[in-house]
Amino acid sequence: MSTGNQGACRERGRASLVREASKLSIAGGLIFLSAAPAFAQEPVPAQAVSPQAQVYEPAYFARFAPKTAADMIKNIAGFSIISEDDSDADARGFGQAKQNVLINGRRVSGKSNDAEAALGRISAESVVRIEVVDGATLNVPGLSGQVANVIARVDVFSGTWNVEPEFRENLQPSWFNGAVSANGKTENGWSWSAELSNREYHNGHDGPGTIKDGAGNTLDIRREGFNGGGEEPNVAATLTYESTNGAIANMNLTLGSENFVGREDSFRFPVNAPQTTRFVNIGEDDKTAEIGADYEFDLGPGRLKLIGLHRYEEEDNLVMVEFYDDLGAASFCERVFEHQKAGESIVRGEYGFGAFGGDLQFAGEGAFNYLDLATDFGSRMPDGNYTLAPLAGGTARVEERRAETNVSCSRKLSDQWSLQKLARCRVFRTLATRRRRADPRVCQAQGLCRPGLESGRNARYFVQGRAQGRAARFRRLPVVS
């Protein structure tokens, strides 16, 4: 594949991303509009403060001069946000709540646009208070330990902005490094928040190096340097509608991109060999889109929450390595170009109600994940151009279909102790296909029973039982090119 073909591939990838984002917007809008007619037009009453909560009023944070709710959370002593990446749960799907942050008592239904990102779009002036409570006392299965519940009220338009340019000696300045966010609320029950951010960076190094053997004898003297830079523009938005009967609808949208270009120069002077020079060029181009929507409302004796999310990512990676001898002639030059696309679609339903002196919740989730990978490889031709061809074994597709159901129950035993019980069943089906190769279909089933006790003194005791089965069926599969 020539350089022109690579550019055409990127253009097709961008067009594919635009089509995917259009589908996401249409689907999310239809979900959201289908729920809107059921809403009333009056404000939601204020939430009551938990008697065991550690309450932090805005005055407590005045000395830190916070701009957003995220700044306020970071200045609570002894508390830190557990992100989705930090949790030990499976990164695919939603599962139960993992992050230890709630906004107005509710979990944020997003992955890229998670609770930490949402807090960065809420101005400090909109925060009424922050409650740090025991997660076992909340009606959110899966939460334990300290949980921060941010109570925010947006009555008027407000926003924040920051610019953080970076300057380093002998490097290009990073001028476009900052973010602007805004949030607001209308009189008819709509509220919104949005953020536009960009991270620009430049890095590099340069200096001498010496290669020695085990006896301390010098083998090679080098002068090496690296220079690279990139940017990460991102836009995120949340739209919310609330009603007097308790029905709540949310829609989250995130669009992001990452571009990086770097080069390493290595001038090598071996003691007993001619001088050589190596150049390594690296390029990355990554684009992501995610949309999620949820609708929560009263149904019968309990409350039902429906969640949907779709995420799409497309990435191009280019690595080129070139060696030249002491006369400047190319001796070894190769290039690898990798293109991959990944997607995830999730639907989830949760129904909870009071039972057995506590809270009982039934949940079901279905997820589909896929990864497409194509790799091209080539060497430099005598005329200086590269001709890339598909790499043997470098084309593959992996799919996973997963279903999960769980039942959880939480009950407060005393002012200091709470009981949590969880039973879960999860089924996987994975299909991997490679060019000219038959791969297995793997089916897995897992069962989990996990009762636990938790005290207000942050002491937690869990007893866990697990059963797991695995089956693999080998057969010839259709070739994916």
| Tokens describing residue 382 | 């005598």
Q: What integer is the mean pLDDT of 228-234? A: 95
Residue 96: band (very low, low, confident or very high) from pLDDT cuts 50, 70, 90: low
| Range in 43-47, 106-110, 226-230, 268-272 with the lowest mean pLDDT | 43-47
Residue 52: band (very low, low, confident or very high) from pLDDT cuts 50, 70, 90: low
Tell me the per-residue pLDDT of 401-413, one tens digit each, with 9 for 90 and over. Answer: 989 898 888 777 7
Largest CA distance in the chain: 84
Instruction: For residue 260, tell me if it sits in a domain.
Output: yes
More confidently predicted of 247 and 9: 247
Instruction: For residue 479, tell me if it sits in a domain.
Output: no
| Tokens describing residue 317 | 């990676």
Q: How far apart are CA 166 and CA 178, in angstroms?
A: 11
- Find out whether 178 and 161 touch, Cβ atoms under 8 Å: yes
- Find out whether 8 and 270 touch, Cβ atoms under 8 Å: no
In angstroms, what is the C-alpha Rg of the chain?
27
Q: Give me the pLDDT at residue 41, please.
A: 34
Instruction: For residue 322, tell me if it sits in a domain.
Output: yes
| Tokens describing residue 302 | 């309990």
Q: What is the torsional sign of CA 300, 102, 290, 250?
A: positive
Instruction: For residue 480, tell me if it sits in a domain.
Output: no
Query: Looking at the predicted structure, is the pLDDT value of residue 340 above 90?
Result: yes
Residue 143: band (very low, low, confident or very high) from pLDDT cuts 50, 70, 90: low
Q: How far apart are CA 395 and CA 340, in angstroms?
A: 10
* Nearest-10 Cα torsion for 84, 87, 93, 99: -50
Q: How far apart are CA 310 and CA 369, in angstroms?
A: 10
Q: What is the torsional sign of CA 351, 299, 252, 27?
A: positive
Query: Looking at the predicted structure, is the pLDDT value of residue 328 above 60?
Result: yes
Mean pLDDT, all residues of the chain: 78
Which three-class secondary structure state does DSSP give residue 253? strand
Beta strands in 356-457 (DSSP E): 358-379, 389-390, 396-412, 417-434, 441-455
| Range in 320-334, 356-370, 447-461 with the lowest mean pLDDT | 447-461
Q: Give me the pLDDT at residue 200, please.
A: 95
Q: Give me the pLDDT at residue 245, please.
A: 85
What stretch of H or E contains 28? helix 3-35
Q: What is the DSSP letter of 269?
A: E
What stretch of H or E contains 72? helix 69-74
Q: Give me the pLDDT at residue 317, please.
A: 97
Instruction: For residue 440, tell me if it sits in a domain.
Output: yes
Query: Looking at the predicted structure, is the pLDDT value of residue 475 above 50?
Result: no
Which three-class secondary structure state does DSSP give residue 127? strand
β 146-152/101-103 pair status: parallel
CA 119 to chain centre: 15
| Range in 66-70, 308-312, 448-452 with the lowest mean pLDDT | 448-452
Q: Give me the pLDDT at residue 450, please.
A: 57
Give the residue numbers spanning the domain of 141.
3-473
Q: How far apart are CA 360 and CA 114, in angstroms?
A: 25
**Strand pairing partners for 374?**
339
Q: What percent of the chain has pLDDT over 90?
A: 40
Q: What is the DSSP letter of 89?
A: S
Tell me the per-residue pLDDT of 31-48, one tens digit each, with 9 for 90 and over. Answer: 443 343 333 333 333 455
Residue showing tokens 């057969």? 475
Instruction: For residue 481, tell me if it sits in a domain.
Output: no
- Find out whether 35 and 418 touch, Cβ atoms under 8 Å: no
More confidently predicted of 462 and 211: 211
Alpha helices in 155-292 (DSSP H): none
Q: How far apart are CA 325 and CA 216, in angstroms?
A: 26
Contacts of 48 (CB under 8 A, 6+ apart): none
Residue 14: band (very low, low, confident or very high) from pLDDT cuts 50, 70, 90: very low
Q: How many domains does the chain have?
A: 1
Residue 319: band (very low, low, confident or very high) from pLDDT cuts 50, 70, 90: very high
Q: How far apart are CA 160 and CA 146, in angstroms?
A: 28
Q: What integer is the mean pLDDT of 413-424? A: 71
Q: How far apart are CA 77 and CA 60, in angstroms?
A: 12
Q: What integer is the mean pLDDT of 346-366? A: 88
Which three-class secondary structure state does DSSP give residue 196? strand
| Range in 254-268, 355-369, 424-438, 446-460 with the lowest mean pLDDT | 446-460
List C-alpha distances in Å: 233 to 41, 67, 176, 251: 36, 21, 10, 21
Q: Give me the pLDDT at residue 231, please.
A: 96
- Find out whether 405 and 422 touch, Cβ atoms under 8 Å: no
| Tokens describing residue 331 | 């001796």
Instruction: For residue 136, tell me if it sits in a domain.
Output: yes
Tell me the per-residue pLDDT of 147-157, one tens digit each, with 9 for 90 and over. Answer: 888 888 776 67
- Find out whether 378 and 402 touch, Cβ atoms under 8 Å: no
Instruction: For residue 195, tell me if it sits in a domain.
Output: yes
- Find out whether 254 and 110 touch, Cβ atoms under 8 Å: yes
